[in-house]
Every structure is written in C-alpha cells, then in structure tokens.
Chain A
Amino acid sequence: MSLRYLENVVTLEYDRDKCTGCGKCAEVCPHAVFVMADERKAKMTDRDLCIECGACMRNCPFDAIKVRPGVGCAYALMMSALRHRPAPVCE
C-alpha cells in the first residue's frame, strides 16, 4: 500500500549551510519531508513526498529552502489551458 505520487519530479531545494535549525519547516510540512533530526540543522528526508505547497519556504526565516509552489490539480490546469488565461471565477 502506498500513497506516493511520481518520483523525482518536484522542485524542492534545501541549502543546509543556511539552516540555523529553527525548526519551522518541520513544524509546517504536512509530509514530514523536513524533520529536526539533530537539533542543529533540519534534515530533508524523502523528497519525493513533497507536494510543493511552499509552506517550508515561506516560513523559513533564513531562505534555506526553495520550491516552486503550486497546486497539483489537473482540473485547474485543464480549465486554465482551455481558457488560455487565468480565470479565477467559479461557475
């Protein structure tokens, strides 16, 4: 049984040198991609579990994390592609 999506595709990057170990990324990640293993640095675990929500990047005070946030919703991509423009309106 596995609730995993595609491998090796997400844009998540972690610069360990910039990390001060504040722990905020581990607090916000809904997939435990970041954990505080030893207290001094965050550890990036299973990168393929990342859903690119962007919570870690936004809450890292030291710019140690980069990811291109977005919503993994095929329907949204399709509707927007069909309209050829952003269309933030519900029917």
Chain B
Amino acid sequence: MTKVFDRFLKNPEEASCGCEGGCCGPPAAKPEGGQTEARPAPLTPADHAWIIGSVETAEGDVPLVATRLNRADRNGTLLARLSIKRMSHAVRPGLYGFGKPDAWSPVFVTGNYKMSFDYLRRSLDGRDGWILVLDTRGINVWCAAGKGTFGTDELVARMEAAGLARVVSHRTLILPQLGAPGVAAHEVAKRTKFRVVYGPIRAEDLPAFLDAGSKATPRMRRARFLFKDRIILTPVEIAMVIKSKTFLGILIAWALGLIGVKFLSFNLPVVLGAVFIGTVVVPALLPWIPVRAFSLKGWLLGFLWTAGFLALNGLPATAGGWLSAASYLLILPAFAAFIAMNFTGSSPITSLSGVVKEMKTAVPLMILSAGLGLGAFIAAAVVA
C-alpha cells in the first residue's frame, strides 16, 4: 500500500487536495490567461468600496484602489481566516493604480486572492504605483505559483491585456518572491523586455525594500514560521476536522452512547483533547517537539495525553477495562498523528519527497493502530 504514494514522486502535479487550507482553487474554471479580447469596463467605486476613483492612462481609465483597508476588507480577512467563505473573495484580474501613479511609478504583481491583494495595497500606503493582478483563481500567490497559475504565461498575457508597456515607460516588474516557483524571470525578460525583480516574502517588508532601492535583506528573503504564524493557521485546521465525516461519526456514536446504546459510550473530552493536540498543540509547539516527522509529533503528544488521562483514572479493574484502555491508546494517538500530519501542507518547511517518505511509514501504522483499537473497543463492549 505504500506504493500508492510513489506515483506522486513521478507525477507531483497529480497531488491535489479538496481542502480549504489555502492551496486549492475554487471549482476550477479554465485559466483565462491569454484572453486579449475587448477589455471589460473598468471597475468603479459603485462595484467595490475599496475602489476610490480612476486614473487616466494611454490605455484608458484604470481604477484607483484605497491603500487603507475598510471594515468590509477586514471582515473578509477574518472570515477567510476562520475558513468561512474563503473562496468567494477574488479580485478581478487586471491593472489597478494607487496613490498618484504615473508612467514612472513602480509596478507590483500579485494574485487575485483578496487577502494577498489587501496586504499588498495596505503595505503601500502613502506611495504611488500600479498593481497588476493575475488570475490565480482566487488562491494565494504561493499556492498558485506551485500550480503554475501564477506563472510566466499568465503574467505575459495579463501584461499584454492591460497594455502595460504603454501605461508605464520603465521596464521593471516587482513580483512577490513566493511567486518565483511559477515564473521564470529570464523568460519574462525575453518575451516582454520587462525585468523581473523579486520583492520580499512579506508585504509588510515592502516599504523597507523600496527605500533600500529594491534590495531585500537576507531576513526578508527567508520563509518565517514563528509561533504567531503557526497559531493563525489553527482555526482552519480545527474547521477541517470539525467539518469531516470522521468527526461527525464520533459525535453520532457519542450521542448514541448517551441515549443508552451502552457499548458505544466513551469519554468525549479525551477524544476532543486528541483533536486539539493535532490541530493546535502540534502547530504551536512544532519546533520544540523533538522528532521530525509531523505524524510522529502528533503521535507522541497524543500518546502522552491519552496515557496521562488513563493514568488519572487508575489501573483498570476488569478485563473490559484493560481492553477499553488499550482501545484509547491505539486509536487516539493515531488520530492525533493523522491530524498533525495534515499540517505538513500548511507549513513552509516540508518537501514533497519528505512527506511521501513520512506517509509511507506513518499511514500504514495509523491504519493498523486504529484498526486494532476498534477491535479492542468492540471486544471491551462484548466482554462488558
């Protein structure tokens, strides 16, 4: 069964989730890259509160956007963070201006995920420039670059559609560094005569980058995964578990146990604790758990938690009690390991090769452990 993951080593692009953790597109329309038909009428303040006017260019009117976020922008960010309505926040691809842009103002490129767009314009408050929004189908730059939707072809097509070479007189584009997996700078230069400069990873570093003459410090170029960066991801992790069928099944079984289906009764708080470990504690303590594989991190903490809980209850007195304890120890650490393993996708430190290696060992062990645990659970009910 470990073979099933090997095929992703040959065809990495076959790996695609159905998740809302950030990297999955909405029910995908075809990428629109390359369309050069009549441009749609420019957006106006009547379309979005964040559009505050327009600026005249050689290519017609270009919408001007605010560089301060309004309440609707912030609410949208909050909802996306809580994993609600994540995908309904897409910005129309195309060219926008901010401040008082002219033919010599810098051009920033981003994807059409509203949160990326918001962070970018907010960090440019007080300056003048252009923002070229690529059609990344509402997903963030990093994920889109991995899929190639934030890519050379889309960039070149979008520049042509916007007539960028006639709007600005200079020939420099500032791209987010995290877009680099999708874009070949030298190819863009060959095809458009525009030079691609990669800006810092985080939009908040843009002012310092620009003030230094478009030079990034090594710190600006490093992916960061601090405590706060990890914690902010945990609501999405929790939401993913809560929305899963497994979790629904657990709740139903527990409810049935409560209303008298005796053999289904189990301790819900200790199960929820295991979920909490996988979704929150492992991400929070990630660098300090002294093993490398994410699943092993989850298993270790899940085991400590479950064993601690059982120890508090003292030694079981009956055979049924022992079987039940065994079922907790076989199921819950494996469950926490499984949830923690899914955090690989949200972390910027894992490679495909590494995750495949981890899964080839961890997944069969999890299935075995959970299977034995269910067996023990049923046996405990039978004995009782």
A-side residues, CB < 8 A to B, are: 1-7, 9-11, 24, 26-32, 49-55, 58-59, 61, 68-81, 85-91
Provide the main secondary structure of the chain A interface: loop
CB <8 Å contact, A72 and B16: no
- Is A77 within 8 A of B221, CB to CB? no
Which residues of B line the A interface, CB within 8 A?
Answer: 4-5, 8-9, 12-21, 23-28, 87, 143, 145-146, 177-178, 180-186, 198, 201, 216, 218, 221-223, 225, 286-288, 292-295, 341-342, 344-345, 347-359, 363
Cβ of A69 and Cβ of B146 under 8 Å apart?
Answer: yes
Tell me whether B180 and A59 are in contact (CB under 8 A). Answer: yes
- Contact residues in B for A2 (Cβ distance below 8 Å): 287
List A contacts of B13 (CB < 8 A): 70, 86
CA distance A87 to B9 in the complex (A): 17
- Taking the closest CB of chain A, its distance from the CB of B94, in whole angstroms, is 24
Question: Cβ of A79 and Cβ of B19 under 8 Å apart?
Answer: yes
Closest CB-CB distance, A65 to chain B, in whole Å? 12
Given A24-B185, A59-B184, A73-B345, A5 contacting B354 (CB threshold 8 A):
yes
Shortest CB distance B329–A (Å): 23
A84 CB, nearest partner CB in chain B, Å:
8
29 residue pairs A–B, Cβ–Cβ below 8 Å: A2-B287, A3-B225, A3-B287, A4-B349, A5-B351, A6-B354, A9-B351, A9-B353, A10-B351, A24-B185, A51-B349, A51-B351, A55-B177, A69-B12, A69-B352, A70-B15, A70-B351, A70-B352, A71-B143, A72-B350, A72-B355, A73-B15, A74-B294, A74-B344, A76-B17, A76-B23, A78-B359, A79-B19, A81-B8
8 Å CB contact of B355 from A31, A74, A89: A74
